[in-house]
Amino acid sequence: MARVYNFSAGPAVLPEEVLEKAADEMLDYAGCGMSVMEMSHRSSAFKDIIESAEADLRDLMDIPDSYKVLFLQGGDSLIFASLFMNLATNGKADYVLTGNWSKKAYAEAQILGDPKVLASSADKNFTYIPDCSDLPVRDDASFVYICENNTIYGTTYPELPDTKGHPLVADQSSMFLSKPVDVTRYGLIHAGAQKNVGPAGVQIVIVREDLVPDDLPGVPTMLRFKTQADAGSLYNTPNCWGIYVCGLVFKWIRERGGLVALEEANAEKAGVLYDFLDASALFSSPVNPRDRSLMNVPFVTGDSALDAAFVSQAAAQGLVNLKGHRSVGGMRASLYNAMPREGVEALVSFMKDFEARHA
């Protein structure tokens, strides 16, 4: 078996121990004589799976009881709309635009109501995070929205915005569980599983209970957070397999010492690549150093033909999915929790070799 080092932005590398455990339990989960894919979502076995996934997540993130944890479907692209429907009952919410995903969240809000842009880094192709210390938040804004880690542009908020007392709503998809966060500073956190915590098809929403309205006239049942909050995310058939794998990843993180230990490991890993980029005569990072993501690291040579040669030669060495997003070009290495340090070292060693041949 030859596993590659997979630098994909998502769906992305998962811990080998988790894949092995899922493989071991594939034909017979815990003596049930069937796979998790084959069991009823109403069975006691699955009830244990979803309840322990939630309990482990609450423990890892220290989520207060006053917050609901939901396991949803439809992609974060649907959450962009549903969170607006649930939280912006007056049709008003304010957005900071730092890349494609916050733009898409804002576009959904434009369909549904009257959102406002508070700040944007579009002027420099989203290579930085705008100053959010004195945002012109509207008095009647239901929340302030950010995409906390920008998967495509490789930026992350060095500190959270001053929302002037309004709830903060954050898309944490590409940084979820990569470091400790203080959940009480947020009204809502949402994240797709397919980067740091599991397979595609599960959206995790952590929402302050008092922000979820009891009654939402005109909003379909499945789009009301209250529906799944009241039903323990089992109003309808959830993504059972996806939730099961997320649960295995939560346990894997706990075994590794939790989020403090992961943040340290992630900072070290990303440091190996950023240190090399800062010293390189060929490669460079387009991102403002203060705002660099530990999870997604774009880099360029400045010559698109050379970039393409790099991506294909790296793939031949088992360093795959390094092509940058089309809106940035160049390369991007995603260094999620499950990427081992050896993977980053192998990448840097190949970059040194490539540089020696092309500088």
Taking CA atoms, 201 is separated from 11, 35, 243, in Å, by 10, 18, 9
**Do the Cβ atoms of 262 and 177 come closer than 8 Å?**
yes
Rounded distance between C-alpha atoms, residue 95 and residue 138, angstroms: 11
Please report how close the Cβ of residue 10 comes to ligand PMP at its closest, in angstroms: 5
Q: Give the nearer residue to ligand PMP in terms of CB position, either 318 or 329.
A: 329
Q: Is 252 annotated as a binding residue?
A: no
Q: Give the nearer residue to ligand PMP in terms of CB position, either 223 or 351.
A: 223
Give me the residue label for tokens 């012109």. Answer: 136
Give the active site residue among 76, 92, 94, 195. 195
What pairs with residue 207 in β-bridges? 68, 188
Please report how close the Cβ of residue 359 comes to ligand PMP at its closest, in angstroms: 33
DSSP letter for 129, please.
Answer: P
Give the active site residue among 56, 171, 291, 307. 171
Q: Is 151 annotated as a binding residue?
A: yes
Cβ-closest residue to ligand PMP? 75
104 is catalytic: no
**Do the Cβ atoms of 270 and 296 come closer than 8 Å?**
no
Taking CA atoms, 191 is separated from 78, 97, 178, 194, in Å, by 12, 17, 12, 9
Q: Give the nearer residue to ligand PMP in terms of CB position, either 227 or 296.
A: 296
Give the active site residue among 92, 101, 226, 291. 101
Q: Is 156 annotated as a binding residue?
A: no
Q: How many residues does the chain have?
A: 359
DSSP letter for 106, please.
Answer: H
Please report how close the Cβ of residue 171 comes to ligand PMP at its closest, in angstroms: 5
Please report how close the Cβ of residue 189 comes to ligand PMP at its closest, in angstroms: 12
Rounded distance between C-alpha atoms, residue 346 and residue 319, angstroms: 8
251 is catalytic: no
Rounded distance between C-alpha atoms, residue 345 and residue 351, angstroms: 10
Structure tokens at 57: 């997540």
The DSSP result for 54-70, as a single string, is HHHHHHHHT--TTEEEE
171 is catalytic: yes
Residues binding ligand PMP (CB under 6 A):
10, 75-77, 101, 147, 151, 171, 173-174, 192
Q: Is 236 annotated as a binding residue?
A: yes
Q: Is 241 annotated as a binding residue?
A: no
Please report how close the Cβ of residue 355 comes to ligand PMP at its closest, in angstroms: 29
Q: Give the nearer residue to ligand PMP in terms of CB position, either 75 or 113.
A: 75
Among 347, 324, 349, 247, which residue's Cα sits nearest to residue 14?
247
Q: Is 101 annotated as a binding residue?
A: yes
Q: Give the nearer residue to ligand PMP in terms of CB position, either 54 or 171.
A: 171
Please report how close the Cβ of residue 192 comes to ligand PMP at its closest, in angstroms: 4
**Do the Cβ atoms of 152 and 102 come closer than 8 Å?**
no
Sign of CA dihedral 302, 350, 149, 159: negative
Which are the catalytic amino acids? 101, 171, 195
Binding site residue list for L-glutamate: 42
Binding site residue list: 42, 101, 151, 171, 194, 236-237
Binding site residue list for pyridoxal 5'-phosphate: 101, 151, 171, 194, 236-237
